A and B are shown apart, each in its own frame.
Chain A
């Protein structure tokens, strides 16, 4: 297929707009997943209480951790789902190539991640007002109730970074499965295997990875730690899918 007569930018733009239309349902799932997380979060994420003779003093803690985790799962899933067959085959109605399809997929995923990151940050804070209104029997401890503007933007930015990482992982996994269905068995097997490697010493793969990212106190370094695998996973996925036959 030759693209000499076609402007690559306009081709990319058409594919990207098409994806915004064809994959718009990922935003429905985003809203549903986040609303579900809000419902689960209304019960509080943790509780500390102390007995005082005839009564108990307790502090109910609320956080957006669950919303963040749910959205991470969503990001992983949308990374996989853009490679689903119905989505993929529809693209062949465009004059395109694998490279442009991958680039438009990545652009769509980045857009979805930005939307997901913004809503994750805002949902965490918006939920506070709602909880404050409905919790008539509890007194509020001020402190982190209204975050600084810096914290608000930091929360959104970091959420976007993590979502980008997980959707890149999902995209890579989806490409592998697209390459050969056997990966659909190998990848879950690897995941389960990694769960048990070195767990005894508290140095399991997931624990190590969690610490590697969550304990990073420099935003710039975290950015690089997330950017590096993204810059590896997306090109590898593109190269792999480029080797596939049309309508595989």
Chain B
């Protein structure tokens, strides 16, 4: 393929350099060249003038995501929602529930489900569900906000937690520094984030608050723990 491209360039270069002047007047060629230069200068200048929306790479993002992921695990095992500094609440649900039994099940199951269940004497005829997640990072880019929240449905005493069935692929674009000047600008290529393939998925923690009298059961794929309320 590369060879075909090179041959194509040489062919075009030969044809244009041999025949272009016969069909295009010299003055016209220079006018086109000047216009080409002006367009390039304007486009390059626009890079500095036109505000561009995007996200900055964050060298600390990966460490922060790892810390948050560990914090989620500790919160689950200790039964406390504390120390979750870099963890965000992705979504809250409040669902009507009159029964005495709540069975937790899943749809599109993948990965681990960490669920903390809390009994609340104040809650009656409803359950509250919150989904906490740690940052998702790919090559120093935090894309947590682009990840769709999971879905929750409650039917006949069965609470279904489902993965993001509507999640679209997340696409980024990045402009690389010119390869032939990289060695002058960034000789220490080891620290270049382009070489970093680090990725960390966001860990999730479900917090389900049920009325005090409700008995809770769950499928085997769930890691279930009770909140240690003081």
Bound Cα distance from A47 to B183, whole angstroms: 22
- A131 pairs with B173, CB closer than 8 A: yes
Alpha-carbon separation in the docked complex, A121 to B9 (Å): 19
Residues from 142 to 164 in A contacting B, C-beta threshold 8 Å: 142-147, 151-152, 154-155, 158-159, 162
CB distance from A148 to the nearest CB of B (A): 9
Min distance, Cβ B162 to any Cβ of chain A, angstroms: 10
How many A-B pairs have beta carbons closer than 8 Å: the answer is: 241
Please determine whether A141 and B57 come into contact, CB atoms closer than 8 angstroms: yes
CB atoms of A54 and B110 under 8 A apart: yes
What residues of B have a CB within 8 angstroms of the CB of A209 in the complex? none
| CA A118 to CA B41, docked complex, whole Å | 10
Q: From B138, which residue of chain A is reached at the shortest CB distance?
A: A57
Given contacts A48-B197, A139-B146, 5 further A-B contacts (CB under 8 A): A55-B167, A62-B173, A62-B174, A144-B177, A145-B52
Given known pairs A54-B110, A73-B10, A162-B180, the reply for A32 and B171 (CB within 8 Å) is no
Q: Which range contains the number of A residues in contact with the other chain? A: 35 or more
Cβ-based interface call for A191 (8 A): no
Give bound CA distance, A129 to B36, whole Å: 15
Given contacts A68-B179, A138-B172, whether A78 and B165 have CB atoms under 8 Å apart is no
Question: Do the beta carbons of B173 and A141 come within 8 Å of each other?
Answer: yes
A207 part of interface (Cβ distance < 8 Å): no
Name the distance in Å between B123's Cβ and chain A's nearest Cβ: 32
Residues of B within 8 A of A123 (CB): 40
Which chain A residues lie closer than 8 Å to B180 at the CB level? 68, 155, 158-159, 162, 214
A28 touches B16 (CB 8 A): yes
Which of B20, B110, B197 lies in contact with A25, CB distance below 8 A?
B20
| Given known A68-B180, A73-B9, A140-B52, contact A54–B163 (CB-CB < 8 A) | yes
Interface 9-residue window, one of A97-105, A215-223, A240-248: A215-223
Contact indicator A147/B50 (Cβ below 8 Å): no
Q: Is A2 engaged at the interface, CB distance under 8 Å to the other chain?
A: no
- Asked whether any CB of chain B lies closer than 8 Å to the CB of A63, the reply is yes
Over the window 184-221 of chain B, the binary record of Cβ atoms lying under 8 Å from chain A Cβ atoms (1 yes, 0 no) is 11010000011001010100000000000000000000
